[in-house]
């Protein structure tokens, strides 16, 4: 019961990884706002059914939850989402940004609409709820009511960390989320808020084709079950994770890994402006001294 008494908002919680998060938080004692617009895997259509079904599951198990069907990438909708937690449970302790969908294409066939839609739901859909939650926590801090171990957990992806062929829009959005995470961690620390991200791999509507050939481990452990992702997210949402912020964790099956991301590498400083003709040899030296980059997924 490490979440006992805490209030959590989970976006995209009607299915897949988000649903697993909502159930896991409730099982550990949290009151949960289950947000899901009920769209198809490509973002089309809407339905209140998925969010309401997860709320019913939580309540059947003795937990507390309410449904919210707002579009997280809509500014007013994101504000209503945060308001749902405050109106129903009186506070907000944790925001888990998880909502998203895919529209995969190679860059030469990727349309403007497909680019905009994916960037909107993933990147703006992280920023808008984060903005409204952060504004609430700042107001609480300024009023002398410092939030009790407030937490944000964002959802990036291996595609955002390393790139993925056929997913230029998704990779760019998820890389943006990783960047947003470290900035938010730096800015919100003064209000007692930690901000981290996960890059999960699990079997969901977005990945079912990718993992269709993957089988459960011989001991009966389903390595691709979305429920494998949630324990780390619940821990990051708990008071126990104080001091862990601005980090990105890769998680799948029984594996947890800390991604190290971009770092300053080898350098040469001439102390003056370089001539173009000089730089070929310099770049060759830098490449020779640096580790080889991880390969892009799908190469």
pLDDT for 195 equals 98
Output the six-digit token pair for 109. Answer: 């066939």
- Say yes or no to pLDDT of 210 above 90: no
- pTM of whole model > 0.85? yes
Residue 213 has a pLDDT of 46
In the structure, what pLDDT confidence band is assigned to residue 215 with cuts at 50, 70 and 90? very low
pLDDT score of 146: 65
Task: Say which DSSP state 120 is in.
Answer: I
Query: Given 31, 156, 164, 174, which residue is catalytic?
Result: 174
Span 263-275, average pLDDT: 97
Task: Identify the sign of the CA torsion 224, 155, 128, 107.
Answer: negative
CATH of the domain at 42: 3.40.50.720
Given 124, 156, 164, 170, the catalytic residue:
170
Angle between helices 168-188 and 125-142 (to 10 degrees): 10
What token pair was written down for 198? 């996960």
pLDDT value of position 48 = 77
Q: What's the rounded mean pLDDT across residues 246-262?
A: 95
What integer best gives the mean pLDDT of the chain? 93
Which residue among the candidates 157, 164, 230, 241 is catalytic per the annotation? Answer: 157
Is 232 inside any structural domain? yes
Distance, CA of 295 to CA of 47 (rounded, Å): 39
Is residue 276, in this structure, part of any structural domain at all? no
pLDDT of residue 220: 75
Q: Does residue 270 fall inside a structural domain?
A: no
**Contact by Cβ (8 Å): 170, 270:** no
Asked if residue 136 belongs to a domain, the reply is yes
CA dihedral 10, 15, 20, 25 (to 10 degrees): 30
Residue 115 lies in a domain: yes
Mean pLDDT of 235-251: 97
> pLDDT tens for residues 172-201?
999 999 999 999 999 999 999 999 999 999
Looking at residues 232-261, what average pLDDT do you find?
A: 96
Say if 70 falls within a structural domain.
yes
The model's confidence at residue 125, banded by pLDDT at 50, 70 and 90, is: very high
Q: What percent of the chain lies above the pLDDT cut of 70?
A: 91
Structure token digits, residue 254: 């029984």
| Structural domains of the chain, count | 1
Average pLDDT over residues 162-178: 97
266 in a structural domain? no
Q: What pLDDT is recorded for position 155?
A: 98
User: Domain limits at 66?
Assistant: 7-259
Kindly give, in sequence order, each residue whose CB lies less than 8 Å from that of residue 220, ignoring residues fewer than 6 positions away: none
- pLDDT at residue number 42: 62
pLDDT in tens, 57-115: 999 999 999 999 999 999 999 999 999 999 999 999 999 999 999 999 999 999 999 99
> Edge-to-edge, what's the strand order for the sheet holding 255-259?
64-68, 31-35, 7-10, 94-96, 150-155, 193-200, 248-252, 255-259
* Catalytic-residue membership of 191: no
Q: Give phi and psi for 33, each to the nearest 5.
A: -95, 115
Q: How far apart are CA 71 and CA 67, in angstroms?
A: 13
Whether 233 maps to a domain, the answer reads yes
Place of tokens 């990945």: 207
């Amino acid at each position: 019961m490490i979440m006992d008494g805490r209030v959590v908002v989970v976006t995209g919680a009607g299915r897949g990884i988000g649903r697993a998060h909502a159930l896991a938080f409730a099982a550990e004692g949290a009151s949960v706002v289950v947000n899901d617009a009920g769209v198809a895997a490509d973002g089309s259509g809407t339905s209140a059914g998925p969010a309401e079904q997860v709320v019913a599951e939580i309540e059947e198990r003795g937990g507390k939850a309410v449904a919210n069907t707002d579009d997280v990438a809509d500014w007013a909708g994101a504000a209503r989402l945060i308001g749902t937690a405050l109106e129903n449970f009186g506070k907000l302790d944790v925001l888990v940004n998880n909502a998203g969908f895919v529209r995969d294409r190679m860059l030469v066939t990727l349309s403007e609409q497909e680019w905009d839609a994916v960037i909107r739901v993933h990147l703006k859909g992280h920023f808008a709820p984060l903005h409204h939650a952060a504004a609430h926590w700042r107001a609480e801090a300024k009023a002398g009511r410092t939030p009790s171990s407030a937490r944000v957990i964002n959802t990036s992806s291996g595609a955002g960390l390393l790139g993925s062929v056929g997913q230029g829009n998704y990779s760019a959005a998820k890389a943006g989320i990783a960047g947003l995470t470290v900035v938010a961690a730096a800015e919100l620390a003064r209000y007692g808020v930690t901000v981290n991200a996960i890059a999960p791999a699990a079997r969901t509507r977005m990945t079912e084709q990718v993992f269709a050939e993957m089988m459960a481990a011989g001991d009966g452990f389903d390595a691709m079950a979305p429920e494998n992702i949630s324990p780390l997210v619940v821990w990051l949402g708990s008071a126990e994770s104080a001091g862990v912020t601005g980090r990105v964790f890769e998680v799948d099956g029984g594996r947890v890994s800390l991604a190290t991301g971009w770092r300053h590498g080898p350098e040469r400083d001439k102390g003056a402006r370089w001539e173009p003709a000089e730089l070929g040899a310099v770049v060759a030296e830098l490449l020779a001294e640096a580790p080889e980059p991880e390969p892009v997924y799908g190469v």
